[in-house]
Amino acid sequence: MMSTTSELPAFPASSPEAPAVDVAALGRRLLGRCADVRGVARELIRTQPQLHRVDGLGMQEHRERVLHQLGILVDGGMVVPGFPVSVGGEGKPTGNVAAFEELVLADPSLQIKAGVQWGLFASAIYFLGNDSQHLEWLPGTFTLDVPGAFAMTETGHGSDVASIGTTATYDAGTCEFVLHTPFRAAWKDYLGNAAQHGKAAVVFAQLITRGVNHGVHCFYVPLRDAEGAFLPGVDGEDDGLKGGLNGVDNGRLHFDSVRIPRTNLLDRYGSVDAEGRYSSPIASPGRRFFTMLGTLVQGRVMLDGASTRASQLALHIAMTYATQRRQFAGGSGDEVVLMDYQRHQRRLLPRLAQTYAMGFAHEELLAHLERVFTDPDVPDEIREDLETRAAALKPLSTWAALDILQEAREACGGAGYLAQNRLGQLRADLDIYVTFEGDNNVLLQLVGKRLLTDYGRRFAKADTATKARYVAAQFEEAGLNRSGLRQVGQRFADFGSTARSVGQVRDAAAQRQLLTDRVETMVAGLAGRLRPASKLNPLAAQELFNANQNELIEAARAHGELLQWESFTTAVEATEDAGTKQVLTWLRDLFGLGLIEKNAAWYLITGRLSGPRAEAITDYIDDRLLPRLRPHVLDLVGAFGLAPEHVRAEVASGAERVRQDEARAYYAALEASGTAPVLEKKLPQKR
């Protein structure tokens, strides 16, 4: 039986006055507002080995196992918490999201298939359909009598949903929509549940009636009969073996003039009457499209949380191993624990800080989600903020998860490559998360556009005097940066004192200023360069935008990192236990200063930092923060609350400590016996 992290020996504190972490309280804090739902999910994973991934299964066996696992979730009551009481749920809008995030600990294939069934298929019916459609179709999704696919993506259009090719043309003579795939690139592709198990799908298509295309809408479409054969006009293919997630039966669908009743249009935001007249509560086609897609934001939120949980698991494995595995003899003659090497700390501790930042930011994202989906009168601006926040955080966390899993794998050496230690398979499974629910770069581009829109609105409301002050400030700023006066001032203040250098940037106010300044400066610069676009022809305007696209995405990424830092800081400030607060402050500083260090070139080029001050940040991380955090490594990963049944990695089980103790005892006994062979290099040298 594997031991938990809390049972492993902690690195000794540097002094009796060193702070201590209240692991239990911190663990409760990390579980957040959905602690009860997460607790149910974790207990189910802990006590039901049938939910655990089994290595070595063939693709078909894995698919059938995951389908069976969905039934266990139904029986365990994990399916309906997020749906309203009116449709048989429990009225906890973040419930399903939080529960499904935890499933990554069992098997990412299970997490994704559950997300497809209830986070996408059932949620589309609920959020885009009417009351009668809820009563007709939702019960079958809850019980798994109707496994379903979410047919939005096409082979030729993934992120650009507005340009999909599938059409749904209304025939007033029969009161039916005719669903059709006009060319190969319009096949619906990469769809979970489509290859084998799906009996129905929510299909996104261009709604055409009376010769007018009203844009993308969603339709409920039966796919297969009771024996599993495609219905007339429906056809498809199996996507086959993938780089990961092979427990999900991804496939392709296409339609040859498939007729469905008019009432199969999910019509909350757009309806067609029997005569073919179209109506919508939202007049603007663009706003209507983004409102429909915005209701399905839970998918991005769930991927953000699941990536955070996978990162926690990876660091639990790697750091537990690093506190037990010994390599290379130290000054005492004993081999040194890996976690005591500075390079190992540099590899893992900043990623631990990043994972905490991801977790706290995700908790605030869930709070936004709960507000939007429980308050029917929430302003559109708040809904847009939720979508922007999700679009900013999902790319950062999914990219980070791949990086953390890879670094954790390498930090465990050859052991990390063994399937029994999970890291390689987890990385393969999570690879697709960076393009699930929107390609990361496209999402960040959307965030960047929102930042520019907000900037323009703020500037448009300013009076003449405010605009004049802004122009003067920009001129003064540019002059300082070009002349180097800012750097001269910093060098004068920093002269002869590393402590003085870093002292100017290590507190929360200074970190906030530097991180915020980077976002605002980048957005202001982009706004200035893109301002002429409004006076250019469409082609020239597109070329101008394309020339600034990379910086737009970088500004959005900086905005997402600022959101994470702000969430981390809010969590630190709300921490009551003094010891925990101190350790979290160091960890937050490692995250914030690490962001500044990572972007040191920008801060140096723009004159925000002098060379000595930038160098002092690196020295402070290496000489102060890493040593201060080293004694608390096991407490910080222990707060993730992962039981042995969640971890299921041999190198994190305590077995390595047993091996190391056995080896050390052997050599100690050999030395004590007086029979130990003499090393050749210790023999007298012949002349």
Task: With beta carbons less than 8 A apart as the criterion, state whether 291 and 282 touch.
Answer: yes
- Separation between Cα atoms, residue 30 and residue 278, nearest integer Å: 48
* Pair (311, 274) in one structural domain: no
Task: Report yes or no on 160 lying in a domain.
Answer: yes
* Pair (402, 533) in one structural domain: yes
- Separation between Cα atoms, residue 265 and residue 106, nearest integer Å: 36
Q: Name the helix (H) or strand (E) containing 237.
A: strand 234-238
List own/partner pairs for 385-391 with CB under 8 A and 24 or more apart: 386/294, 386/297, 387/290, 387/294, 387/297, 388/446, 388/447, 388/450, 389/364, 389/365, 389/563, 390/297, 390/300, 390/301, 390/304, 390/365, 391/300, 391/438, 391/443, 391/444, 391/446, 391/447
Task: With beta carbons less than 8 A apart as the criterion, state whether 549 and 499 touch.
Answer: no
Q: In what order do the strands lie in the sheet with 234-238?
A: 188-191, 251-255, 234-238
Task: With beta carbons less than 8 A apart as the criterion, state whether 559 and 357 touch.
Answer: no
* Pair (365, 274) in one structural domain: no
> Is the C-alpha dihedral spanning 473, 477, 479, 480 positive or negative?
positive
CA dihedral angle for residue 320, residue 323, residue 328, residue 329, rounded to 10 degrees:
-160
Beta-sheet pairing, 188-191 with 176-180: unpaired
At residue 513, the pLDDT reads 94
- Separation between Cα atoms, residue 356 and residue 586, nearest integer Å: 12
Q: Which of 235, 251, 283 is the last residue of a domain?
A: 283
Q: Mean pLDDT for each 10-residue chunk of the chain (687 residues)?
A: 38 62 96 92 96 96 98 90 83 88 97 95 95 94 96 91 96 98 97 97 98 97 96 97 97 98 97 97 91 87 97 98 88 83 96 98 95 86 92 97 98 95 97 94 94 82 53 45 40 46 79 95 93 90 92 96 97 96 98 97 93 93 96 97 96 91 90 89 80
At residue 472, the pLDDT reads 47
Task: Report yes or no on 65 lying in a domain.
Answer: no
* Pair (272, 395) in one structural domain: no
Beta-sheet pairing, 167-171 with 200-209: parallel
* Pair (252, 303) in one structural domain: no
CB contact set of 52 (below 8 Å; sequence gap of 6+): 45, 106, 107, 645, 648
* Pair (238, 363) in one structural domain: no
Number of domains, the chain: 2
Report which residue type is found at 402: L
At residue 500, the pLDDT reads 56
Give the closest residue to 260 by CA, choosing from 440, 393, 428, 137: 137
* Pair (421, 558) in one structural domain: yes
* Pair (264, 313) in one structural domain: no
CA distances from residue 286 to 179, 214, 452, 544, 601 in whole angstroms, order as listed: 22, 10, 18, 23, 39
- Separation between Cα atoms, residue 46 and residue 368, nearest integer Å: 30
* Pair (275, 307) in one structural domain: no
Task: With beta carbons less than 8 A apart as the criterion, state whether 97 and 118 touch.
Answer: no
Task: Report yes or no on 33 lying in a domain.
Answer: no
* Pair (257, 323) in one structural domain: no
Task: Report yes or no on 63 lying in a domain.
Answer: no
* Pair (629, 562) in one structural domain: yes
SS3 507: coil
Task: Report yes or no on 394 lying in a domain.
Answer: yes
Task: Report yes or no on 102 lying in a domain.
Answer: no
Task: Report yes or no on 55 lying in a domain.
Answer: no
No. of helices (H) and no. of strands (E), the chain: 26, 13
- Separation between Cα atoms, residue 362 and residue 356, nearest integer Å: 10
Q: What's the predicted TM-score (pTM) here?
A: 0.91
Domain that holds residue 399: 1-11+297-671
* Pair (528, 587) in one structural domain: yes
Give the closest residue to 239 by CA, choosing from 302, 306, 187: 187
- Separation between Cα atoms, residue 347 and residue 622, nearest integer Å: 11
- Separation between Cα atoms, residue 105 and residue 601, nearest integer Å: 38
> Is the C-alpha dihedral spanning 405, 406, 407, 411 positive or negative?
positive
Task: Report yes or no on 181 lying in a domain.
Answer: yes
At residue 527, the pLDDT reads 92
Place of tokens 């905490």: 356
For residue 315, give the CATH number of its domain.
Answer: 1.20.140.10
